[in-house]
Amino acid sequence: MSSAALILGVLVTGVTALGFFAARWGGANLRDLEQWALGGRSFGTIVSWFLLGGDLYTAYTFVAVPALVYGVGALGFFAVPYATIAYPIALIVLSKFWSIARHRGYVTTADFVRDRYNDRGLEIAIALTGVVAALPYIALQLVGMRAVFSQFSTLGAMHALPALTVAFVLLAAYTYTSGLRAPAMIAFVKDTLIYVTVIAAVTVIPARLGGWGHIFSLSAAALAARPKPSSIFLGPPQYFTYATMAFGSALSLFIYPHSITSVLAARSREVIRRNAALLPIYSLLLGLLALLGYCALAAGISTKDTTSVVPQLFARFFPNWFVGVADAAIAIGALVPAAIMSIGAANLFASNVFREFSPQRSQVETVIAKRLTLAICAVALLFIFFVPVPYAIDFQLLGGALMLQIFPAFVLGLWTRWFHPKALLAGWACGLLASCAMAYAGGFSANYSLHAFGGTLTGFIALYSLALNLAVSAVLTLLLKRGTT
Amino acid sequence: MRRRGWYALLLLPFIGTLIPPFYNHASPSLFGIPFFYWYQLAWVLVTAGLLGIVVLMTRDGRV
């Protein structure tokens, strides 16, 4: 066994032990939903910083963003403005939501929606959206882990599946026993490994490739020579696509169930506010990782499976033992969000679909949520066995478009009671249908070319369908209010 | 109300990053990195700084 495989194995086993041990952290009664799912709402600034960083920067960040830059050039860099403007939005929306949620005992976004609009249908709609959007996101974590494990198997990706299954079954087990405390504890290890790896990568790799100037000129040439050429700069028709992808993604980031779960685990409103200013440090890492896509181009790495670009780059430039550390960073970087995503989705299903929100919670929700975590992990695992990788990434982007459809009911609802719940439900349904129709028409691409006013505007599906959703919600609210007064 | 004015600072990152024609060019480059890339990375730091200022200036004593 190579030293890389040994170190990867030791680190993954170590965090598994940590995950089970986390059940003892704070000596809490884990039959209580707030303890199991939200760590007793007790996390301070530092724990929350590691947890949120571990939660928001997923295998998608470490594997898919560099892969996108490697594949399409400048357009893939949209993730950087996305991860920048997400934080002003987070500061405003989340500190408001945190205060209301703490005061009223909410565990999910659907709890809030139920309490505000008193509409069971809208509660179920909001909850199911979160569950459905979380599934492909969890599956993508598995895609990231598979990219790592398949490095160790000369026979290809299929032989990584047993290792992947074992790691994922263990993840489901410690999430079941320890709840949110497991990923919170593991996040310390994950984030430390990620920082060490990224700093090593940007120190070692560009120097070995002859400096950034050389990397960019080689990348420009490589992208231009592709059968479908692209560039290290945007073409003017891409401006709108780039901006809408960044803005649409930023709007949806913090309404995902996994983000909400980690946010509500914070001890105080001030913890959330401080973290809005401290978390962008991770976005800098994301940007540096994105540039590794160009390093891979400059290094002449040629592969059809773009998700393996970063692991291949590590294997080429790092000593063998450090390849183990770097690959463990990616694998554990996938486990932490996968655990939180399954907890967040399970909370929604248990609290808002099986039962309806009530301020007096029983321990029944906890039992249901814990079992559902296992079920959700199982579904995500099936996803990876049966859905080919490129489609999995498209499903994740479509999931983001679906997720954004709860924006009017949830985010606008934090400030106004003006909207009628039935109008919001109709707007939500129109937004979902429009997202699916545009995705289908565009061959499951994240962007749709709108032909209007004699021109073509290619933009992120999520924003087009959100605009429709808002319009339907507003017009129907006006009509329904006129009808009742 | 005077304190709330600080939140207006948070509009700057949106203006700075969501209009690509402003920064979609190669020069001036920094350490060989084209302007397009380092400019957007710089906005990550600027935004963190602006958020820090807003968080400090709008503290309301509820901790």
Measured distance CA(B43)–CA(B21) in Å, rounded: 16
Contact A448/B at CB under 8 A? no
Measured distance CA(A424)–CA(A356) in Å, rounded: 19
Contact A216/B at CB under 8 A? yes
Residue of A nearest to B8 (CA): A88
CB distance A273–B45 less than 8 Å? no
CB distance A91–B54 less than 8 Å? yes
Does A221 score more than 50 pLDDT?
yes
Contact A14/B at CB under 8 A? no
Residue type, B48: A
**Partners of residue A211 in chain B, C-beta under 8 Å:** 31-32
Q: Which residue has the higher pLDDT, A19 or A464?
A: A464
Average pLDDT over residues A187-209: 91
Instruction: Considering only the beta carbons, identify the residue of B7, B41, B55 that sits closest to A80.
Output: B41
Beta pairing partners, A266: A43
Does A28 score more than 80 pLDDT?
no
What pLDDT score was predicted for residue A33? 80
CB distance B29–A213 less than 8 Å? yes
Contact B24/A at CB under 8 A? yes
Mean pLDDT of chain B: 88
Average pLDDT over residues A282-305: 90
Measured distance CA(A397)–CA(A403) in Å, rounded: 10
Measured distance CA(A250)–CA(A446) in Å, rounded: 15
Q: A454 pLDDT band (50/70/90 cuts)? A: low
Q: A171 pLDDT band (50/70/90 cuts)? A: confident
Which of A65, A69, A78, A84 is most worth mutating to test chain B (most B CB atoms within 10 A of its CB)? Answer: A84
Does A217 score more than 60 pLDDT?
yes
- In Å, how far is B2's CA from the nearest CA of chain A? 17
CA angle B7, B9, B15 (to 5 degrees): 125
Which two structure tokens, joined as six digits, stand for A226?
A: 């592709």
**Partners of residue B48 in chain A, C-beta under 8 Å:** 87, 277-278, 280-281
Does A417 score more than 70 pLDDT?
yes
Strand positions, DSSP E, A319-429:
none
CB distance B43–A246 less than 8 Å? no
Q: Among A295-309, A400-414, B38-52, which stretch is predicted with the lowest mean pLDDT?
A: A295-309
Distance (Å) of CA A43 to CA A247, A258, A263? 29, 16, 9
Distance (Å) of CA A108 to CA A115, A232, A280, A469? 11, 41, 25, 22
Cβ atoms within 10 Å of A360's Cβ, excluding its own: 5
For chain B, report the end-to-end CA distance as a whole number of angstroms. 20
Does A264 score more than 80 pLDDT?
yes
CA angle A249, A131, A367 (to 5 degrees): 140
- In Å, how far is A430's CA from the nearest CA of chain B? 27
Q: CATH topology for A3-390? A: Sodium/glucose cotransporter (1.20.1730)
Contact A100/B at CB under 8 A? no
Q: Which residue has the tokens 């985010």?
A: A411
Distance (Å) of CA A377 to CA A55, A61, A338? 16, 20, 8
Average pLDDT over residues A308-334: 88
CB distance B62–A273 less than 8 Å? no
Contact A211/B at CB under 8 A? yes
Contact B57/A at CB under 8 A? no
Count H helices, E strands: chain A?
22, 2
Average pLDDT over residues A157-175: 77
Does A390 score more than 70 pLDDT?
no
Buried b (16+ CB within 10 A) or exposed e, A424-442: bbbbbebbbebbeebbeee
CB distance B62–A269 less than 8 Å? yes
CB distance A84–B25 less than 8 Å? no
CB distance B51–A88 less than 8 Å? yes
CB distance A216–B33 less than 8 Å? yes
Does A9 score more than 90 pLDDT?
no
What pLDDT score was predicted for residue B62? 45
Measured distance CA(A88)–CA(A285) in Å, rounded: 18
What pLDDT score was predicted for residue A88? 95
- In Å, how far is B39's CA from the nearest CA of chain A? 10
**Partners of residue A84 in chain B, C-beta under 8 Å:** 13, 17, 40, 43-44, 47
Side-chain half-sphere exposure of A461, counting CA atoms within 13 A = 28
Torsion angle of the four alpha carbons A146, A151, A157, A159, in this order, in degrees rounded to the nearest 10: -100
Task: Count how many pairs of residues, chain A against chain B, have C-beta atoms within 8 Å.
Answer: 112
Which two structure tokens, joined as six digits, stand for A278?
A: 């401290």
Q: Please say whether the dihedral angle defined by the alpha carbons of residues A465, A406, A252 and A64, taken in this order, is positive or negative.
A: negative
Instruction: Considering only the beta carbons, identify the residue of B33, B34, B43 that sits closest to A84.
Output: B43
CB distance B20–A234 less than 8 Å? yes
Contact B22/A at CB under 8 A? no
- Can you tell me whether residue A447 is helix, strand or coil? strand
CB distance B17–A242 less than 8 Å? no
How far does CA A197 lie from the centroid of its chain?
Answer: 21
Mean pLDDT of chain A: 86
pLDDT in tens, A337-374: 988 899 899 888 888 888 777 766 777 778 888 888 88
